[in-house]
Amino acid sequence: MRYLFVLLAVCAISCEVVVDVDIPIKPASITVHSTINPDSTFQVQLTASQNILSNNQFSTIPEATVNIYDGEILVETLVQNSEDGYKGTLKPLKGHTYTIEASKTNYKTVTATDVVPSQNVKLNKVTFAKNANDEYNQQQYSMTIEFDDPKGENYYEIGLYGPELHYERDEDTGEYVVVDTVMIQYPIDSEDGIFTVEQYYSDRFWSFSDDVVDGKTVKINFNTYIYPFWNETVDEVEVLVAVREISYSMFKYKQTANLQRSLDGDPFAEPVPVYNNVKNGYGIFGAYQQTTSTVTVRKEE
């Protein structure tokens, strides 16, 4: 019997077949990343796509021609900025349809179109309340947002900004003192069923559609941290709540990107292609309209 096992093992090894697979290498394409809104001038980042076997960092594309059209009319040619890609001087207008056209020698010209949402979200109520401590005994706060959703297809995302205190050690007293305060985006979390896709941590805006609340009052609860309250001397903090109406393209891009990231490392998951609205290339050209509300949060609320 022992010799039979040896013979079977030898046969199994001898049956192995090495197959060389030729994977076609596509030429690099222009990848666009731009989200526009009426409060900021046009800004676009361009990078070169890579083949599936590449481990290189994405490289920016310099000296491209980037045109912005309002409908069929050319309104601006963006200027390259070493730090921020390509920037303009004009701001998008609500309800207008814009097209980006980017061209560069040895690349196919790419285009993408999106519409800037025209409705401002009117917040009915934004409240904060002290919540239970998390698993690490850190104090949490609940944030409740309420607004009316107009009839028709609408897409939103919600984020929260607040101050972060920077400290330095006083050499004379040995105590840490606040030397600077900067505004950062706070992480938020929600178990509300309106969010159908797990939100990825690095994108701290939570996006959703109005499928189940069309034409109704939207009320959503979040959990968050108010970082300055970790300083015992801070009793109240002003935070900025941002609610955006986003375009369909921007919504689909964020949903599919979040879904792809949430499935990363799962060997049994189906591949999830990230939404792309760039013709002849890759990426996203999206648009949003933002409403903000400043709220004073008190430590003992």
Task: Give residue 12's pLDDT band: very low, low, confident or very high (50, 70, 90).
Answer: low
* pLDDT at position 266: 64
If we measure between CA atoms, which residue out of 78, 227, 79 comes closest to residue 161? 227
Residue-range domain boundaries for the chain: 30-115, 123-246+290-298
**Predicted model pTM:** 0.84
Q: Give the span between the Cα atoms of 91 and 180, in whole angstroms.
A: 31
Strands 65-70 and 43-48: unpaired
| In the predicted structure, residue 184 carries a pLDDT above the cut 80 | yes
* pLDDT at position 23: 57
* pLDDT at position 54: 54
Task: Give residue 11's pLDDT band: very low, low, confident or very high (50, 70, 90).
Answer: low
* pLDDT at position 28: 84
Task: Give residue 81's pLDDT band: very low, low, confident or very high (50, 70, 90).
Answer: confident
Average pLDDT, the chain: 87
* pLDDT at position 272: 76
Task: Give residue 119's pLDDT band: very low, low, confident or very high (50, 70, 90).
Answer: confident
Which of residues 22 and 236 earns the better pLDDT score? 236
* pLDDT at position 177: 84
Q: Give the span between the Cα atoms of 296 and 161, in whole angstroms.
A: 12
| 9 phi and psi angles, rounded to 5 deg | -65, -40
pLDDT 10s digits, 83-105: 669 999 999 999 999 999 999 99
pLDDT 10s digits, 33-75: 999 999 999 999 999 987 555 555 667 899 999 999 999 999 9
Fold observed for domain 123-246+290-298: Immunoglobulin-like (2.60.40)
If we measure between CA atoms, which residue out of 147, 187, 185, 180 comes closest to residue 165? 180
pLDDT 10s digits, 196-239: 776 765 568 999 999 999 999 999 999 999 999 888 889 999 99
* pLDDT at position 1: 53
pLDDT 10s digits, 241-283: 999 999 999 999 999 988 887 776 666 667 778 899 999 999 9
pLDDT 10s digits, 135-182: 777 889 999 999 999 999 999 999 999 999 998 888 888 888 888 999
